[in-house]
Amino acid sequence: MSNIQFPANFINSLSNAPGFDAQKFIAAHQNSPSPTTIRANPYKPAPIYKGVQVPWCPEGFYLAERPSFTFDPLFHAGCYYVQEASSMFIAHILQYIRSENDDTLKVLDLCAAPGGKSTLLSSALNSDDLLVANEIIKTRVPILTDNLTKWGPSNIIASNNDPKDFNRLKGFFDIILVDAPCSGSGMFRKDPDAMNEWSEANVNLCHQRQERILADIYPALAGDGYLIYSTCSYSVAENEAVLDWLCTEFDLESIRISINKEWGIVESQSDRHKAWGYRFYPGKVQGEGLFAACLRKTTATGSNPSNYKNKNTQKPDYKSIDLLKPYIKDADNYYYFKVGDDWLAIDREHKDALGILQQHLYLKKSGVRLGSIAGKDLVPDHELALSLIINKDAVLQTGLTREQAIAYLRRDNIPDLDPTEKGWSLMTFENQPLGWAKLLPNRINNYYPKEMRILASPPAL
């Protein structure tokens, strides 16, 4: 690899960073390419690429080489997510929290796009837990909702709100993940262009932004709840210094997470409060730069979510709901509601939480969008096709070869497909749904969403 020119004063700025080894760090950036890693979707077992397991995440795998994910139908079916290995450590923290608390959890991923950590959290949660994936920047919301749709669970709500908006939900969440905007030095190897944005002034600006975000979101954390804080920065100012600020300003105590020394993760402590942090350095771990920490709110009191009133309950339309139920596995386990002309479903135990969130936040996705009813028929939505709640036995299915699946995902004519049955069909590859098509006597209408279609040309066979 070429000789990397780090920003001026960058290496010197890390001289006091815990565990920083300049020689190993520089060598890793110059001589070791960023590893390619994926994380399997436990809800959608399929013949995906697999290699050496990521040690802190059972569903994570290092691949020997980077395949063309764009032209793998199982990627579009949501059978796996392409995610940097270090980021998967958040699942290890959640595993610790779950070992300490087996109650039903309400979890917020505050800065969620593009969805890697949200799908990671989703895999570690139970169906009676609720995940709210929020993205602050409006233009990043569509990629978040697309990735959540691919993943498939029905216990996820996506929102587009500023952190201060969550002040209306005091004590609502048991776990809040703040993967904070940062100076991005942890991504230098993976994205060398990020070096152009780095400066000590930007580090200080990010530190201030991180404090504002955390101060805004803190009231929404329940008593005894957990705050997970992470960045992709090596800077002490954005990491350990933020932990000291949190422990000074709020009722928070640091939680030490058990790690295996062989993983190469550097365990650090902040100067003042000795708060525990976990640092990932290329050259010491097989992954990119990450800092992560977990804190617990020491005050047991706070607003109980049950005190909130759900004012948005709709009067049930049992006639329409009866038309929907055949399409849903364990149909009585869900609450059905309308948004515009479309019907949606969410796990019944989340009905009240949904109503509360609808009052206080701007929601972009709630549970699974099933589709609209025309006469006595359901016009199915793409979300239903990729969801885990679809009753596949109730719909026509058309299996596709890899070539046909890629054509379907490009919204091209599907070669050599002459189905004998007609009507709405779930188009599948390796028994995994990709989306809908309507099979007509003389043509096939492709209903794969235009905004999600593959735009690149497939490689020559």
Cα distance between residue 428 and residue 74, in whole Å: 10
CATH number of 86-297: 3.40.50.150
Average pLDDT over residues 197-203: 93
Confidence of residue 460 (pLDDT cuts 50, 70, 90): low
Average pLDDT over residues 365-377: 94
Confidence of residue 319 (pLDDT cuts 50, 70, 90): confident
Percent of the chain beyond pLDDT 90? 85
Average pLDDT over residues 231-237: 97
Domain boundaries, given as residue ranges, for the chain: 86-297, 308-391, 395-461
Which residues are part of a known binding site?
A: 111-117, 135, 162, 179
If we measure between CA atoms, which residue out of 104, 199, 71, 30 comes closest to residue 459?
71
**DSSP string of 299-331, one letter each residue:** ------GGGS----PPPP-HHHHHHHGGGBTTG
Positive or negative: CA dihedral 132, 218, 291, 182: positive
CB-count burial class (<10 Å; 0-12, 13-18, 19+) for 354: buried
pLDDT score of 256: 97
Q: Do 449 and 422 contact (CB within 8 A), yes or no? A: no
β-strand partners of 426:
397, 436
Q: What is the pLDDT of residues 273-307, one digit of tens each?
A: 999 999 999 999 999 999 999 999 999 755 555 55
Confidence of residue 442 (pLDDT cuts 50, 70, 90): confident
Please count the CA atoms within 13 angstroms of the CA of 331 that sit on its side-chain side. 13
Q: Which helix (H) or strand (E) holds 153?
A: none
pLDDT score of 1: 43
Q: Which of 57, 232, 247, 294 is catalytic?
A: 232
Confidence of residue 458 (pLDDT cuts 50, 70, 90): confident
Average pLDDT over residues 7-28: 94
Percent of the chain beyond pLDDT 70? 96
SS3 253: strand
Cα distance between residue 246 and residue 265, in whole Å: 23
Distances 25 to 240, 261, 289 between C-alpha atoms, Å: 20, 18, 10
Q: What is the pLDDT of residues 27-64, one digit of tens each?
A: 999 988 899 999 999 999 999 888 999 999 999 999 99
- What's the predicted TM-score (pTM) here? 0.95
Q: What is the pLDDT of residues 111-132, one digit of tens each?
A: 999 999 999 999 999 989 999 9
Which residues are part of a known binding site for S-adenosyl-L-methionine?
A: 111-117, 135, 162, 179
Structure tokens at 195: 């070096």
232 labelled catalytic: yes
pLDDT at 314 over 70: no
pLDDT at 410 over 70: yes
pLDDT at 263 over 80: yes
Range with lowest mean pLDDT among 115-119, 181-185, 317-321, 410-414 = 317-321
Confidence of residue 424 (pLDDT cuts 50, 70, 90): very high
pLDDT score of 8: 86
pLDDT at 101 over 70: yes
pLDDT score of 461: 53
Mean pLDDT, the chain, rounded, equals 93
Average pLDDT over residues 189-207: 92
Sequence-separated (6 or more) residues with CB below 8 Å from residue 238: 180, 182, 183, 203, 206, 207, 210, 231, 291
Q: Which residue has the higher pLDDT, 301 or 420?
A: 420
pLDDT at 360 over 80: yes
Structure tokens at 259: 């790690």
- The reply to whether 86-297 and 395-461 are identical in fold is no
pLDDT at 186 over 50: yes
What architecture is domain 395-461? Roll (3.10)
Q: Would you tell me how many other CB atoms lie within 10 Å of the CB of residue 178?
A: 22
Q: Do 253 and 294 contact (CB within 8 A), yes or no? A: no
β-strand partners of 435:
427
pLDDT score of 308: 54
SS3 377: strand
In degrees and rounded to multiples of 5, residue 11 shows phi and psi of: -60, -45
pLDDT score of 5: 86
Q: Do 444 and 437 contact (CB within 8 A), yes or no? A: yes
